[in-house]
Amino acid sequence: MRTTTTVRKSGGSAITTLPPFISNFLKVEIGDELSWEIRAGEVILTASKTRRKRTKLNDLLDKFEATQNTQSLEDEQWLNSAPQGRELV
């Protein structure tokens, strides 16, 4: 397999894209690391899967609870209002 890409400037770096058939062949995803090596005038690209941080339920719950601590004025008024009908209290 052979393809051609164009080198572009991005900030102070020179970048190029990874064509889909290569990323599919190497099974790389966004966030994975690639290792570049130059050997005998050729560039060798090796994919190394990065370990993604596993999200823990407690971390998600902490974030959820942090957003639940704030109540709007409308929420406060509803919580402090008297029953309007035959609600069980």
Residue 14's pLDDT is what? 94
- The widest CA-to-CA distance across the chain, in whole angstroms, is 85
Residue 10's pLDDT is what? 93
Phi and psi of 82, rounded to 5°? Answer: -80, 155
Beta strand extents in 1-89 (DSSP E only): 8-10, 13-15, 33-39, 42-48
Mean pLDDT per 10-residue interval, the chain, length 89 residues: 88 92 86 90 83 77 73 86 79
